[in-house]
Structure 1
Amino acid sequence: MRAIVMREFGGPEVLRLEEVADPEPARGQIPLEVRLAGVNYADVHVRGNTYLAPVALPYIPGNEVVGTTPDGKRVVALTQGGGYAEKVAVHRRLHWEVPDGITDEQAVPLALQGNSAYHLLFTVARITEGETVVIPAAAGGVGSLAVQLAHRAGARVVALASTTEKRQLATELGAAAVVDSSDEDGLAERILDAAGGPVQAALEMTGGKTLHQTLEVLAPRGRLVVYGFAGGELADVSAHTLLQKSITAAGFWLPHLYADRTLPLAASMRKLFDAVGNGTLKIVSGGTFPLADATKAHSMLNSRTGMGKFSLDTVTH
């Protein structure tokens, strides 16, 4: 089969198309013929050797796919690597049949980015109607979904985005206020001004100075959920900072739900499918690239010029 293989860590150029052996499903896995592979910022961390889990080379990136099962069902699935390929083996608990009426392009971001947005907001941040929540990278894959999900739940969304076009998209998706995040200096003041005061909850995925600026805008007993460090700099949060306003700070990494037998992912997938199906959740497409052009998709992610979901077409040569 054809696959994108990394044999070293580095920039987008380390992603090379190769012919490799088909995957051998392990116990509890099923094989899929991949139709679309989702591209995520986690893949950028994998490529740069900054991912939360160690990666052994050679490695095929990709953690979410739309594909077909041996009996012909169209499914969306979570993988633990291997997605940038024509075939992949997935765990039987981590794939869900795609309802009729939902396209491959609509389905592919739901497994990883949709579930991440859902559980960031409702499982960890526990947002409720009437609260104000800060959502970063609001025009990106996770952010564009989180803005809509929070708005649908009756929360007031303050969206962060780096360009006028991205802020306009966030407004169209339901954000009550938008903030320019292109300059870290003065970010806290701009958020407080847009929100009309301290906020009850905030998501954070940049790290470094942005994390500390986000902490500043939380109200007493506010909740912070950290799900990345796209800026490349991890930042420490002092106990003194948390105690001053009784802040709750939590980290979130979706793979920790993969083995949860209470089936939280099955429940959230049903809600995400329903929302897309009834038109209340819009999938913003950043573009679909041929599998051989994985480097182009990663270059766009690196430049942060695109919006929405990027994916790789494994069928069209």
Structure 2
Amino acid sequence: MRAVVMENYGGPEVLEVKDVPEPELHRAHRRIEVTRAGVNFADLHVRDNSYLAGVPLPYVPGNEVAGKIDGERVVALTGGGGYAEVAQARRLTTFSIPDDIDDDTALALALQGQSAWHLLNTVLRLQPKETVIVPAAAGGLGSLAVQLAKRLDAHVVAMASTDEKRALARDLGADAVVDSTSETLASDLKEAADGGANAALEMTGGDTLHATMAALAPLGRMAVYGGVSGVETLVSTRDLMSLGKSVQGFWLPLLYGQRNALSSAMEDLFSAVRSSEIQVSSVTVYPLSEAGRAHEDLAARRTTGKVALDPSR
């Protein structure tokens, strides 16, 4: 089969398409003929060896796929191996795609949709009328988080880096938009949140994390799910105590072993699509042979919505 193989850590150039044997099927896993492989920021961290969990080399990246099992359409969260014509996933993290949902939509809901859902509902426990800050609001996860937060009747302050992306966030329902590259980000966020937000998502680290933290109201809470800046960021315990703010980390694989957590969220996401409460932005699809370019474009924030690879090309 064709697969993207990393034999070294490094830049996008280490992603090479090769002919390799199909993976040996593990216990309680299912073989999937892949039609789409999702590309996520986590894959960039895997590639340069800065991910939360190390991977052995050589390695086939990719943590989510859409495809078929014996003709049945499925979407699945994988433990790597997604950038290939054939992958495998645990039964607990494999979900049937309903007839009224297309593969691209299902793929967008798998990792990024599940992450957005659990960040808002499981971690932040967002309540109606609360104000929440959403970063990268035109991206795959951020665009879904904006809509899911509005579905919970929250006030959404969206962050994005360009006029076009901020306009998209507005179209998705954001109540206020802020330039994420602003030199006065903390005060901009605080003003947009009418003095302070109750909750915030954070995936950048460094100055952006501190600015977002400063924009939280007393007793505000933050969910950290990434660190795309690559900066290891310290949080002052004095600041946490003096204003009662809280910070909780989140990593979706922590839920992979919980029987109902993922399936319940997936069903709710499918329901939200059917009711038009959320809309999935068009998926940007690259040939498998251009995985490196997909990584470059994602890192440079040149994409909006979901990014995927097509193993047939």
Query: Do the two structures share a fold, i.e. TM-score over 0.5?
Result: yes
Per the normalisation by structure 1, the TM-score is: 0.97
Cα distance in 2 between the residues matched to 1:213 and 1:286: 31
- Alignment partner of 2:291: what SS? helix
Q: State the AA in 2 paired with 1:68.
A: K
- The aligned counterpart of 1:142 is 141
- The aligned counterpart of 2:193 is 195
1:138–1:160: 8 Å Cα contact kept in structure 2?
A: yes
Cα distance in 2 between the residues matched to 1:279 and 1:105: 16
Q: State the AA in 2 paired with 1:173.
A: L
Cα distance in 1 between the residues matched to 2:92 and 2:168: 34
Cα distance in 1 between the residues matched to 2:172 and 2:258: 31
Cα distance in 1 between the residues matched to 2:193 and 2:216: 11
Cα distance in 2 between the residues matched to 1:113 and 1:239: 30
Q: State the AA in 2 paired with 1:5.
A: V
Residue 272 in structure 1 maps to residue 276 in structure 2: no
Match of 1:243 among 241, 244, 247: 241
1:160–1:167: 8 Å Cα contact kept in structure 2?
A: yes
Unaligned runs of 5+ in 2: none
Deviation, 1:270, is: 0.2
Deviation, 1:111, is: 1.2
Deviation, 1:10, is: 1.1
Q: State the AA in 2 paired with 1:61.
A: P
Cα distance in 1 between the residues matched to 2:278 and 2:69: 26
Match of 2:254 among 247, 256, 279: 256
Match of 1:306 among 286, 303, 306: 303
Unaligned runs of 5+ in 1: none
- The aligned counterpart of 1:22 is 22
Q: Deviations over 1:190-229 (max 9, x none)?
A: 0111121111000100001111111111111111110111
Alignment RMSD: 0.9
| Runs of 4+ residues over 4 Å off in structure 1 | none
- The aligned counterpart of 1:74 is 73
Q: Deviations over 1:27-54 (max 9, x none)?
A: 1111010010000010011111100001
Deviation, 1:286, is: 4.6
Cα distance in 2 between the residues matched to 1:6 and 1:283: 30
- The aligned counterpart of 1:99 is 98
- The aligned counterpart of 2:289 is 292
- The aligned counterpart of 1:13 is 13
2:190–2:216: 8 Å Cα contact kept in structure 1?
A: no
- Alignment partner of 1:109: what SS? helix
Cα distance in 1 between the residues matched to 2:11 and 2:275: 40
